[in-house]
Amino acid sequence: MNTRVLILGWGNPGRGDDGLGPEFVRAFDQLSLPGVTAESDYQLQVEAASEVAGCQEVLFVDADRRGPEPFWIERLSAEAGLSFSTHSVSPAAILALARDLFQAEPQAWLLGIRGYEFDEFGERLSCRARANLEQALQYVKSAVQGDGFAEIRPAPARLQNSRDRVGDLCQTTSP
Protein backbone atom coordinates (compact mmCIF):
# COMPACT_ATOMS: atom_id res chain seq x y z
CA MET A 1 0.00 0.00 0.00
CA ASN A 2 1.52 3.28 -1.11
CA THR A 3 -1.36 5.53 -0.12
CA ARG A 4 -2.08 5.81 3.56
CA VAL A 5 -5.11 8.11 3.10
CA LEU A 6 -7.23 8.54 -0.03
CA ILE A 7 -9.56 11.53 -0.19
CA LEU A 8 -12.37 11.30 -2.75
CA GLY A 9 -14.47 14.44 -3.20
CA TRP A 10 -17.37 14.77 -5.59
CA GLY A 11 -19.87 17.37 -6.74
CA ASN A 12 -20.61 19.84 -9.51
CA PRO A 13 -18.51 23.01 -9.21
CA GLY A 14 -20.86 24.70 -11.69
CA ARG A 15 -23.73 24.51 -9.18
CA GLY A 16 -22.49 26.75 -6.39
CA ASP A 17 -22.00 24.99 -3.08
CA ASP A 18 -22.41 21.57 -4.72
CA GLY A 19 -18.74 22.06 -5.62
CA LEU A 20 -17.62 21.76 -1.97
CA GLY A 21 -16.26 18.22 -2.50
CA PRO A 22 -14.03 19.11 -5.46
CA GLU A 23 -12.98 22.39 -3.81
CA PHE A 24 -12.02 20.50 -0.65
CA VAL A 25 -9.84 18.18 -2.76
CA ARG A 26 -8.24 21.10 -4.61
CA ALA A 27 -7.40 22.95 -1.39
CA PHE A 28 -6.25 19.83 0.47
CA ASP A 29 -4.08 18.71 -2.43
CA GLN A 30 -2.13 21.98 -2.15
CA LEU A 31 -0.96 20.91 1.30
CA SER A 32 1.09 18.12 -0.33
CA LEU A 33 1.01 15.92 2.75
CA PRO A 34 3.01 12.69 2.40
CA GLY A 35 0.96 9.51 2.11
CA VAL A 36 -2.20 11.37 1.10
CA THR A 37 -3.81 11.23 -2.34
CA ALA A 38 -6.77 13.49 -3.13
CA GLU A 39 -9.03 13.14 -6.18
CA SER A 40 -12.34 14.61 -7.28
CA ASP A 41 -15.04 14.09 -9.87
CA TYR A 42 -18.66 15.03 -10.56
CA GLN A 43 -19.84 11.74 -9.06
CA LEU A 44 -18.42 8.59 -7.54
CA GLN A 45 -17.48 5.94 -10.09
CA VAL A 46 -17.21 2.16 -9.62
CA GLU A 47 -13.58 2.43 -10.77
CA ALA A 48 -12.80 4.13 -7.46
CA ALA A 49 -12.98 0.71 -5.80
CA SER A 50 -9.51 -0.19 -7.09
CA GLU A 51 -8.06 3.03 -5.66
CA VAL A 52 -9.85 2.49 -2.35
CA ALA A 53 -8.38 -1.02 -2.21
CA GLY A 54 -4.87 0.42 -2.25
CA CYS A 55 -5.16 2.61 0.84
CA GLN A 56 -5.37 2.25 4.60
CA GLU A 57 -8.05 4.91 5.07
CA VAL A 58 -10.46 6.65 2.74
CA LEU A 59 -12.33 9.89 3.29
CA PHE A 60 -15.33 10.58 1.05
CA VAL A 61 -16.20 14.30 0.87
CA ASP A 62 -19.44 15.86 -0.36
CA ALA A 63 -21.60 18.94 0.14
CA ASP A 64 -24.57 18.65 2.49
CA ARG A 65 -27.72 20.75 2.09
CA ARG A 66 -29.21 20.36 5.57
CA GLY A 67 -26.61 18.92 7.93
CA PRO A 68 -25.08 20.60 10.94
CA GLU A 69 -22.66 23.48 10.50
CA PRO A 70 -19.83 23.61 9.74
CA PHE A 71 -19.50 19.90 8.84
CA TRP A 72 -20.07 16.39 10.10
CA ILE A 73 -18.15 13.15 9.75
CA GLU A 74 -19.22 9.55 10.27
CA ARG A 75 -17.65 6.12 9.97
CA LEU A 76 -18.69 4.07 6.94
CA SER A 77 -19.06 0.36 6.37
CA ALA A 78 -19.17 -1.59 3.14
CA GLU A 79 -22.72 -2.07 1.94
CA ALA A 80 -23.55 -3.45 -1.46
CA GLY A 81 -26.16 -1.38 -3.21
CA LEU A 82 -28.42 -2.42 -6.04
CA SER A 83 -28.88 0.15 -8.79
CA PHE A 84 -29.97 0.09 -12.39
CA SER A 85 -27.05 2.30 -13.33
CA THR A 86 -23.69 3.42 -12.02
CA HIS A 87 -24.85 7.05 -12.02
CA SER A 88 -25.58 6.94 -8.31
CA VAL A 89 -22.85 4.92 -6.65
CA SER A 90 -22.68 5.43 -2.89
CA PRO A 91 -19.49 5.46 -0.81
CA ALA A 92 -20.70 2.29 0.97
CA ALA A 93 -21.10 0.56 -2.42
CA ILE A 94 -17.55 1.59 -3.41
CA LEU A 95 -16.32 0.02 -0.17
CA ALA A 96 -18.29 -3.16 -0.89
CA LEU A 97 -16.71 -3.40 -4.34
CA ALA A 98 -13.23 -2.93 -2.85
CA ARG A 99 -13.97 -5.70 -0.35
CA ASP A 100 -15.55 -8.11 -2.83
CA LEU A 101 -13.19 -7.57 -5.78
CA PHE A 102 -9.88 -6.81 -4.04
CA GLN A 103 -10.32 -8.25 -0.52
CA ALA A 104 -9.56 -4.79 0.88
CA GLU A 105 -11.35 -3.16 3.80
CA PRO A 106 -9.78 0.21 4.60
CA GLN A 107 -11.19 2.35 7.36
CA ALA A 108 -13.65 4.73 5.73
CA TRP A 109 -15.29 8.01 6.65
CA LEU A 110 -17.88 10.29 5.07
CA LEU A 111 -17.44 14.04 5.51
CA GLY A 112 -20.42 16.29 4.77
CA ILE A 113 -19.66 20.00 4.51
CA ARG A 114 -22.68 22.26 4.98
CA GLY A 115 -23.58 24.24 1.88
CA TYR A 116 -26.37 26.74 1.28
CA GLU A 117 -26.61 27.77 -2.37
CA PHE A 118 -27.21 24.86 -4.77
CA ASP A 119 -29.83 26.10 -7.21
CA GLU A 120 -27.88 28.79 -9.03
CA PHE A 121 -25.42 28.20 -11.84
CA GLY A 122 -21.92 29.50 -11.26
CA GLU A 123 -18.53 28.29 -10.19
CA ARG A 124 -18.34 29.93 -6.80
CA LEU A 125 -18.98 28.90 -3.23
CA SER A 126 -21.15 30.98 -0.93
CA CYS A 127 -19.28 32.82 1.78
CA ARG A 128 -20.81 30.66 4.52
CA ALA A 129 -19.92 27.44 2.66
CA ARG A 130 -16.35 28.66 2.19
CA ALA A 131 -16.09 29.30 5.96
CA ASN A 132 -17.37 25.74 6.61
CA LEU A 133 -14.87 24.40 4.08
CA GLU A 134 -11.98 26.10 5.89
CA GLN A 135 -13.00 24.48 9.18
CA ALA A 136 -13.33 21.06 7.53
CA LEU A 137 -9.86 21.48 6.00
CA GLN A 138 -8.37 22.29 9.40
CA TYR A 139 -10.02 19.25 10.99
CA VAL A 140 -8.93 16.82 8.26
CA LYS A 141 -5.37 18.18 8.19
CA SER A 142 -5.14 17.59 11.95
CA ALA A 143 -6.68 14.11 11.63
CA VAL A 144 -4.30 13.08 8.84
CA GLN A 145 -1.25 14.41 10.66
CA GLY A 146 -1.84 12.30 13.72
CA ASP A 147 -5.06 12.83 15.66
CA GLY A 148 -7.02 10.40 13.47
CA PHE A 149 -10.63 10.67 12.36
CA ALA A 150 -13.55 10.52 14.76
CA GLU A 151 -17.29 10.84 14.29
CA ILE A 152 -18.55 14.40 14.62
CA ARG A 153 -22.27 15.01 14.64
CA PRO A 154 -23.16 17.75 15.48
CA ALA A 155 -20.12 19.98 15.27
CA PRO A 156 -17.95 20.13 18.40
CA ALA A 157 -18.09 23.24 20.56
CA ARG A 158 -14.58 24.31 19.55
CA LEU A 159 -15.80 24.66 15.97
CA GLN A 160 -19.17 26.15 16.87
CA ASN A 161 -17.50 29.06 18.66
CA SER A 162 -15.87 30.17 15.42
CA ARG A 163 -19.28 30.41 13.71
CA ASP A 164 -19.81 33.80 15.34
CA ARG A 165 -16.97 35.18 13.21
CA VAL A 166 -18.47 33.90 9.94
CA GLY A 167 -20.99 36.75 9.84
CA ASP A 168 -18.12 39.23 10.00
CA LEU A 169 -16.38 37.54 7.08
CA CYS A 170 -19.41 37.32 4.80
CA GLN A 171 -20.66 40.25 2.78
CA THR A 172 -24.06 38.62 2.16
CA THR A 173 -26.61 37.29 4.59
CA SER A 174 -27.99 34.33 2.65
CA PRO A 175 -29.98 31.75 4.66
Q: pLDDT digit string (tens) for 1-55? A: 456 999 999 999 989 899 999 999 999 999 999 999 999 999 999 999 999 999 9
More confident of the two residues 86 and 58: 58
What 3 state SS string does the chain have? CCEEEEEEEECCCCEHHHHHHHHHHHHHHCCCCCCEEEEEECCCCCCHHHHHHCEEEEEEEEEECCCCCCEEEEEECCCCCCCCCCCCCCHHHHHHHHHHHHCCCCEEEEEEEECCCCCCCECCCCHHHHHHHHHHHHHHHHHHHHHCCCCECCCCHHHHCCHHHHHHHCCCCCC
Q: Which domains does the chain have, with CATH numbers?
A: 3-169 (3.40.50.1450)
pLDDT at position 146 is 85
Q: pLDDT digit string (tens) for 85-135? A: 445 789 999 999 999 999 999 999 999 999 999 988 888 999 999 999 999
